[in-house]
């Protein structure tokens, strides 16, 4: 039986790890001012994910000029991922640039992400399915024993980096390997791709 305070703390640690890894900025320096996240309508909402999801964290950095950064983390109880399908954590990092992203923006972000949080094993990558522009999908194994000690289930990280409008997005999901597939992640990525061309901060 899951003990809520323990798995909440451990999920918070995992969320912090992913968001920290996603902070590496390959697209240039970022100014210090931070906007009020409550005043921002993010490109993904709890309702897009389902009734058992919550917005666990949201951070916005929107300087007057230059690139802006939006980060968010959504979570749901681990037992939903064990007894059903799909992720238990979804994190977003959206770089909003003053101009169109450079041609190598996806490659830059992938390199920065993997350097900041190197996976324990092989990273599997694919350019399909097409979402936004230049989509690069990735997945690698994850250890969830600290999150759900008695589950006896291996974990999986599944994500995608792509550009849409002036934004570069890295959406990372975490779930149980037997209950997380590309078909669970693709619809979320398509929602993001449809909303990002008009997304702005500040």
Residue pair 56/12 in contact (Cβ under 8 Å)? The answer is yes
pLDDT in tens, 130-139: 898 889 999 9
pLDDT in tens, 160-179: 999 998 899 999 999 988 88
The per-residue b/e assignment along 93-113, b for 16 or more CB within 10 angstroms, e otherwise, is bbbbbeeebeeebbebbbebb
For 160-197, the three-class secondary structure string (H helix, E strand, C coil) is EEEEECCEEEEEEEEEEHHHCCHHHHHHHHHHHHHHHH
Domains of the chain, CATH where assigned: 4-198 (3.40.1000)
> Which of 161, 162, 164, 170 is CA-nearest to residue 197?
164
Give the pLDDT mean for 50-63: 89
How far apart CA 149 and CA 73 sit, in angstroms, is 22
pLDDT in tens, 143-166: 877 766 666 678 899 999 999 988
Cα angle 189-7-45, degrees, rounded to a multiple of 5: 30
pTM for the model stands at 0.82
Token representation of residue 112: 């920065």
Q: How many CA atoms lie less than 13 Å away from 135 in the CB half-sphere?
A: 17
Residue pair 70/94 in contact (Cβ under 8 Å)? The answer is yes
How far apart CA 192 and CA 54 sit, in angstroms, is 17
How far apart CA 53 and CA 37 sit, in angstroms, is 19
Band of pLDDT at residue 31, cut at 50, 70 and 90: very low
DSSP letter, residue 39: G
Q: Which residue would you say has higher pLDDT here, 47 or 147?
A: 47
């Amino acid at each position: 039986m899951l003990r809520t305070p323990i798995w909440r703390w451990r999920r918070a640690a995992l969320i912090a790890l992913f968001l920290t890894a996603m902070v590496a900025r390959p697209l240039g320096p970022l100014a210090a001012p931070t906007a009020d996240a409550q005043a921002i309508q993010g490109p993904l909402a709890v309702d897009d994910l389902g009734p058992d999801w919550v917005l666990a964290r949201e951070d916005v950095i929107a300087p007057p000029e230059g690139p802006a950064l939006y980060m968010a983390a959504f979570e749901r109880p681990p037992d939903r991922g064990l007894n059903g399908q799909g992720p238990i954590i979804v994190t977003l990092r959206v770089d909003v640039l003053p101009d169109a992203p450079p041609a190598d923006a996806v490659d830059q972000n992938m390199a920065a992400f993997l350097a900041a949080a190197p996976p324990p094993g092989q990273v599997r990558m694919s350019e399909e399915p097409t979402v936004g522009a230049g989509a690069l999908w990735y997945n690698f194994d994850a250890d969830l024993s600290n999150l759900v000690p008695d589950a006896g289930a291996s974990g999986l990280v599944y994500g995608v980096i792509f550009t849409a409008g002036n934004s570069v997005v890295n959406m990372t999901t975490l779930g149980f390997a037997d209950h997380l597939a590309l078909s669970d992640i693709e619809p979320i990525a398509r929602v993001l791709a449809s909303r990002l061309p008009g997304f702005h901060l500040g």
